[in-house]
Structure formats: C-alpha cells, structure tokens
Amino acid sequence: MQEYLPQEIETKWQNYWEEQGLLDFDFASEKPKYYMLTMLPYPSGDLHIGHWYAMAPSDSYARFMKMQGNEVFFPIGFDSFGLPAENAAIQNNIHPKSWTYANIERMQKQLRTMGNMFAWKNEVITCDPEYYKWSQWFFLRMMEEDLAYREHAPVDFCNHCQTTLAREQVWGEDRVCERCQNPVVKKKLNQWKLRITKYADELLDFEGLDWPERVRSMQQNWIGRSEGVEFALKISDSEDLSFRVFTTRPDTVFGMTFCVLAPEHILVDQITTPEQKEAVKAYKGAAERKDEIERTAEGQEKDGVFTGAFAVNPMNGESVPIWIADYVLASYGTGAIMAVPGHDERDFHFARKYGLPTPVVIVAPEQLDSIPDGDDLSEPILQKE
C-alpha cells in the first residue's frame, strides 16, 4: 500500500486549487450566490485547535453549498485592531504593526495548509487603511442620516491602562482588566452611539424568515418597540427639578406608589438627602461593579436604596418615594421608571421587599370578588396590554 504523505499530497492539491482558481469568487457568475463568513481570527499570537474548531463547520457548509451548484463567497481576514494585538506587542516589546503583520504572514501560511475553501483574493486586514476607510465611510453616512450621535454615558474603564474596555475584556466577578488585572470601574465619558431604535419596526418584521420562536423573541425584545406615553415627574419641594418616565399603560399611573432611578442617573446626587448619602454612595459603588446583563438578569432578586427624596404623582398629587435600583439602566429609555406594584410583577416584589404600598386601580369585572382590601395582595393583578 502506498504511504500517505500529507505534506506532499495536500500541498499538491492545494496548489492545484489555487492555480485553477477553484476557491475564487466570480462576481459575474450567473450561478445562485451564497455568502459565508466565519469569525476573523485575532493575529495576536499563534493559531490553535480552537480556531479550526470554530472554522471547520462553516468551511464544511461552504463546500456543501458549492457542491450544490452555488457561487460561494467565503472570504477570510484578520481582526487586527484592538487590545489583543496591543497586549501581545507590549508583552513582546515590539511595535504593534510589526508584531501584527508578522503574525498575519505566519497565520496565512497555517490557514492555507489546512486546506480551507477561503477566497484569499478577497482577504481583509482590519488595520489596513484600504479596509477601514470603508468603516469611516459608513460612519460618515450614519452621521449624515442622523444615526450617529455623541452622549455622555457610563463605560467600563481601567484607570491603570487608561482605556475603555469591551464587556469581554472585563474578567470575573471581581471585574478586573484582562490586561493588568486591576479593578475596572464605571466612568462617564463622551462616546459615539448609533440610533438602532430607528430600525425597531424593521426588526419586528419576520415575514419570509423561518426563524425559531426563541430567536424571534430575542429579536423582538432586543430593541422592543413600545407604544405609550412619556411624561415628567416633578421632585417634591423643588421648583425646577424633574425627570421623565415612560409607560405603556398610562391608565395605571394612579397606582404609582414609588419610582426608581438608575444609580447613574444625573439627578441621584442632587436629590439624595444627607441622611441617605452614605447608603446611596455604597449602592452606586456596588452597581458599578456589575455589568448590564448581571443587573437585568431574569429571576435575580431586585434590590435598591431610598434616596430620601419624593416625586409628585401628576394624576393625584400624592408624594411617592424615589429609590435607586441597579435593574434600571441609565442607557435604556429615560433611565427612570414609575412603579405600579399592584399591576406589575417586578414592582410588586420590590414593593413587598421594602414595605411599599400596592394599591389596585384597574380591575376587570370578573376579578372584583378576588381583590382583598388594603395591601394584602399575594400577587399583582396583571392586565393585558
């Protein structure tokens, strides 16, 4: 039996594929077009088995689609900007550009020996000006369409490295920087944001999309287009301080017995009474050490701290206490909510925990006999939207 010599046999056929252009994408082809993309590797070190573990399924499917008669576009490239490349360059005492391009050259050879079906003629390197000029072009177009704007908002920040961090660069429950292992804090900085909410209606249109119900639900709740009313709540004993809240059920405003601000809300420090300052400061510090997913996780017990201040319910003129709680996010909506514990499950459990009133203000006729007097509800009376 002839011995299998992979270096000879695989190299022979890989060279043949390249010479014949079998992996190239023909933009002018009349075949059905099919686009595939695998995550571009970071050129911050060596390729390892994890890269191939991630690339093999997409490579297999690209081959399958090509064998089905499609003109498959399956490009490859290197995600070469960001902290991974900077970290590696610092550790190896070499300029990031030299380190990055040396790694790219080595990874290109490694990927080619794997026999992937990548369209190498369409390779992209994200730190190449010929590539990122198009990112800049997209951003300028977004500015022209009023889709990009600047906002002073909290970010994860490492004081030691003097840089902002992405969520995956903050490690562990102690929230430390992946680069230096120092604590990460929340810091308000001017930053660019995109008005993704302008696409809310389009993202709810699933016509022609055979998606699982779970994925549809994730898409609906990601932006979650809501119809309702936004109104101002004035701070008691203040001439000019107020904040805005949004509700999909303005008919329940009579049942508002407290309201909640995000710990980062701009008014928190202004309205907190001297007696509550220490408790509020401690709670804000604890909230800074949590990410948004942890703060808003389903099933997690909600807690908060009273600011000592009150707002005025515009419907009945009653004063309602203002709390802060980390499940309210400064980056979502107005950064404040009105709480109607008689008709909302989350508000109900929060009110029960802290001894806040839970009046019922809307009841269907068939529910009248089941409503107890006073604040003896065992669960909120939920109403359909």
Structure tokens at 64: 């399958």
Average pLDDT over residues 200-221: 77
Strand partners, 153: 189
- Burial label, 174 (beta-carbon count in 10 A; 0-12, 13-18, 19+): exposed
Both 159 and 257 in one domain: the answer is: no
Structure tokens at 142: 């977004």
Both 117 and 149 in one domain: the answer is: no
pLDDT at 374 over 60: no
Q: Has residue 139 been placed in a domain?
A: no
Q: Which residues contact 99 (CB under 8 A, 6 or more apart)?
A: 85, 88, 89, 92
Q: Has residue 382 been placed in a domain?
A: no
Both 127 and 163 in one domain: the answer is: no
| Cα angle for residues 261, 307, 255 (degrees, 5° grid) | 60
pLDDT digits (tens, 9 = 90+) for 237-266: 888 999 999 998 888 898 899 999 999 999
pLDDT digits (tens, 9 = 90+) for 65-78: 999 999 999 999 99
pLDDT digits (tens, 9 = 90+) for 161-195: 888 898 888 888 788 998 889 999 888 889 899 98
Spatial separation of the C-alpha atoms in residues 319 and 124, rounded to whole Å: 60
pLDDT at 378 over 60: no
Q: For residue 192, what are the CA distances in angstroms to 94, 139, 339, 375?
A: 31, 10, 31, 46
Domain boundary among 197, 222, 247: 222
pLDDT band at 366 (very low <50, low <70, confident <90, very high): low
Both 54 and 154 in one domain: the answer is: no
Both 199 and 101 in one domain: the answer is: no
Q: So what's the pLDDT on residue 185?
A: 85
CATH code, 44: 3.40.50.620
Q: Has residue 291 been placed in a domain?
A: yes
Q: Has residue 156 been placed in a domain?
A: yes
379 versus 118: the higher-pLDDT residue is: 118
pLDDT at 136 over 90: yes
Q: So what's the pLDDT on residue 313?
A: 93
pLDDT digits (tens, 9 = 90+) for 145-169: 999 999 888 888 999 888 889 888 8
pLDDT digits (tens, 9 = 90+) for 81-120: 877 777 778 888 889 899 899 999 999 998 988 888 999 9
Both 107 and 157 in one domain: the answer is: no
Both 328 and 246 in one domain: the answer is: yes
Structure tokens at 65: 């689609």
Q: Has residue 357 been placed in a domain?
A: yes
Report the range of poorest mean pLDDT among 34-43, 221-230, 367-376.
Answer: 367-376
pTM above 0.85, yes or no: no
pLDDT band at 8 (very low <50, low <70, confident <90, very high): confident
Domain boundary among 99, 134, 169: 134
Both 246 and 287 in one domain: the answer is: yes
**Largest separation between any pair of C-alpha atoms in the chain:** 94
Spatial separation of the C-alpha atoms in residues 336 and 320, rounded to whole Å: 14
Q: Has residue 364 been placed in a domain?
A: yes
pLDDT at 139 over 60: yes
Both 10 and 125 in one domain: the answer is: yes
Both 51 and 173 in one domain: the answer is: no
- Residue in the block written with tokens 């297999």: 60
Number of domains comprising the chain: 3
Among residues 37, 52, 38, which one has the least CA distance to residue 110? Answer: 52
CATH code, 185: 2.170.220.10
pLDDT at 338 over 90: yes
Both 26 and 149 in one domain: the answer is: no
pLDDT band at 365 (very low <50, low <70, confident <90, very high): low
Q: So what's the pLDDT on residue 198?
A: 84
Q: Is the separation of the CB atoms in 266 and 301 below 8 Å?
A: no
Q: For residue 216, what are the CA distances in angstroms to 86, 185, 207, 224, 298?
A: 38, 34, 11, 11, 18
pLDDT at 234 over 80: yes
Domain boundary among 111, 134, 157: 134
Q: Has residue 140 been placed in a domain?
A: no
Spatial separation of the C-alpha atoms in residues 226 and 327, rounded to whole Å: 19
Name the residue range of residue 183's domain.
Answer: 145-222
- Report the share of the chain in percent with pLDDT over 70: 92
Report the range of poorest mean pLDDT among 2-6, 49-53, 359-363.
Answer: 359-363
Q: Has residue 26 been placed in a domain?
A: yes
CATH code, 289: 3.90.740.10
Both 218 and 233 in one domain: the answer is: no
